[in-house]
């Protein structure tokens, strides 16, 4: 008797709760990709010449890759070819006038974020969190700016940073993820619309959690945001991002780039709860989440920690990585990825050890249900100068039902013999025994399942800041709701 078989089916059929759209008047770029569109976006944002030139270089590089059919094919994901000429690269709610304050933001948009549980009105703000809200291609509002400014912290939309802090953006943009890095990074660099910019000055411990919420609303449009976080010497910042999108029959492309820079003794903690629309039970619709995230520990004893909970998207292609350049620098990757129904996740990390006595930790938890396919793909690279480098990798897969799949693809490249590498992997099922045990103590089958799954994710959840841990837990519960019984 396979009680979990039934579970898996219903689990896969779980409804997406963020699938509604907001009726707003839109302004869009002409559909398709061309030099004119890139110029249009830059002009629309009133960008300086250097920015446009960078975009155009990226655009030309992308066109070359496209012509040479060099979109990545190595990931264990399958999708029909993407028609880059059918995508709208820039969509924004039509501004009624120049925005001076939140009062002037469209009521519908404010309500959208309200409905998503994202507090952007100052009086309703979560204590201790500053929020940047991105709706389609533009940042709607960034809260708590004054509090942050007192500490010299800059937290703004990317567009604003280009205008207000061009020297910082120009210096660091593309320094960790150059536009030549990969296919989607090139595309993003050409057409990126908005995103968040964070600058923490030397010695400052950012007094608030910084958070960005990304919402795709418009049909036929992609979201191409960029985030750049710079933590100067001995500073600290914790940054959180969340995402959702309406339910649509066609696939939508989300190709973001995130760059983190941690100078000597600086620490960046970057957390993601990704819940893009995953498509329906048969795999129709859903967001293609093709994202390049990388951080550079530039100075000695710098630390970058990625924590991600990936529950949404039709396809996730994402490898938040760390370049461990400074001696004794530390890179961490904690991940929970859920693939249910027809979702495909190919995610993992790259830890590139360059400096001496650098340390990296990788904890990956993959959950597969329904016909979901979950792949951990990770690279640990120890370069010749990285004497005394250490890595610990743990990849655990949890299978629910008989049709789901889990794969682990660890790559290891050691060019310094003093390195110490440890790898552990496990694959398990939610066993009927465990469920029976819980039910014998009075728990319903559904609660038993979520208890066991939450336990499986424990090491990752406990890395998240409090509010986000609660949100991640809730999201997993919601995804499990009605799955059993």
Binding site for another protein (CB under 8 A): 1, 3, 431-434, 436-445, 447, 451-452, 454-459
Bridge partners of 374?
345, 406
Residue (5 or 384) nearer to another protein, CB: 5
Cβ 138 to another protein, closest distance in Å?
40
- CA gyration radius for the chain? 22
Cβ 476 to another protein, closest distance in Å?
12
Give the span between the Cα atoms of 159 and 156, in whole angstroms: 8
Cβ 436 to another protein, closest distance in Å?
5
- Cβ distance 406 to 427 under 8 Å? yes
Cβ 380 to another protein, closest distance in Å?
24
Angstrom distances, CA of residue 97 to CA of 86, 100, 145, 384:
30, 9, 21, 57
Cβ 474 to another protein, closest distance in Å?
16
Angstrom distances, CA of residue 135 to CA of 122, 132, 345, 389:
18, 10, 25, 42
Residue (341 or 483) nearer to another protein, CB: 483
Residue (3 or 361) nearer to another protein, CB: 3
Residue (260 or 484) nearer to another protein, CB: 484
Residue (73 or 440) nearer to another protein, CB: 440
Cβ 272 to another protein, closest distance in Å?
21
Residue (57 or 439) nearer to another protein, CB: 439
- Give the Cβ contact number of residue 59 at 10 Å: 22
Dihedral through CA 118, CA 119, CA 121, CA 127, nearest 10?
A: -150
Going through 196-320 in order, the beta strands assigned E by DSSP cover 196-200, 209-215, 226-231, 236-244, 251-254, 257-262, 267-274, 286-297, 303-310, 315-318
Cβ 461 to another protein, closest distance in Å?
9
Phi first, then psi, for residue 323 (nearest 5°) are -95, 115
- Give the Cβ contact number of residue 441 at 10 Å: 8
Residue (315 or 457) nearer to another protein, CB: 457
């Amino acid at each position: 008797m396979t009680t979990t078989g039934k579970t898996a089916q219903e689990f896969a059929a779980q409804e997406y709760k963020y699938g509604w759209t907001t009726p707003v008047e839109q302004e869009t770029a002409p559909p398709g990709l061309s030099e004119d569109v890139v110029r249009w976006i830059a002009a629309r944002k009133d960008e300086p010449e250097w920015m446009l030139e960078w975009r155009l270089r990226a655009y030309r590089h992308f066109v070359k890759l496209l012509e040479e059919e060099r979109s990545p094919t190595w990931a264990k994901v399958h999708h029909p070819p993407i028609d880059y000429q059918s995508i709208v690269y820039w969509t924004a709610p039509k501004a009624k006038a120049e925005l001076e304050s939140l009062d002037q933001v469209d009521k519908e948009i404010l309500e959208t974020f309200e409905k998503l549980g994202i507090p952007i009105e100052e009086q309703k703000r979560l204590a201790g969190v500053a929020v940047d809200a991105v709706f389609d291609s533009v940042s709607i509002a960034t809260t708590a700016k004054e509090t942050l400014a007192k500490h010299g912290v800059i937290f703004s939309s990317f567009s604003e940073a280009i205008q207000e802090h061009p020297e910082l953006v120009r210096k660091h943009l593309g320094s960790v993820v150059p536009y030549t890095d990969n296919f989607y990074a090139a595309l993003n660099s050409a057409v990126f619309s908005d995103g968040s910019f964070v600058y923490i000055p030397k010695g400052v411990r950012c007094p608030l959690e910084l958070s960005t919420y990304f919402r795709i609303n418009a049909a036929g449009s992609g979201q191409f945001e960029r985030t750049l976080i710079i933590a100067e010497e001995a500073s600290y910042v914790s940054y959180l991002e969340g995402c959702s999108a309406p339910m649509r029959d066609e696939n939508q492309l989300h190709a973001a780039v995130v760059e983190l820079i941690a100078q000597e003794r600086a620490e960046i903690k970057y957390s993601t709860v990704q819940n893009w629309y995953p498509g329906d039970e048969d795999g129709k619709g859903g967001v293609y989440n093709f994202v390049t995230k990388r951080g550079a520990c530039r100075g000695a004893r710098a630390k970058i920690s990625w924590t991600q909970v990936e529950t949404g998207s039709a396809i996730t292609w994402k490898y938040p990585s760390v370049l461990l350049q400074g001696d004794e620098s530390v890179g961490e990757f904690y991940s929970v990825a859920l693939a249910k129904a027809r979702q495909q996740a190919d995610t993992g990390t790259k830890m590139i050890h360059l400096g001496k006595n650098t340390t990296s930790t990788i904890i990956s938890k993959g959950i597969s249900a329904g016909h979901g396919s979950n792949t951990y793909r990770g690279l640990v690279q120890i370069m010749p100068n990285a004497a005394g480098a250490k890595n610990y990798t743990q990849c655990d897969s949890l299978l629910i039902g008989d049709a789901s799949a889990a794969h682990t693809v660890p790559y290891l490249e050691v060019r310094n013999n003093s390195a110490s590498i440890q790898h552990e992997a496990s694959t398990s099922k939610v066993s009927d025994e465990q469920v029976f045990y819980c039910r014998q103590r009075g728990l319903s089958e559904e609660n038993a399942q979520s208890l066991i799954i939450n336990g499986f994710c424990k090491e990752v959840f406990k890395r998240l800041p409090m509010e986000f841990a609660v949100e991640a837990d809730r999201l997993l519960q919601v995804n499990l709701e009605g799955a059993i019984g």
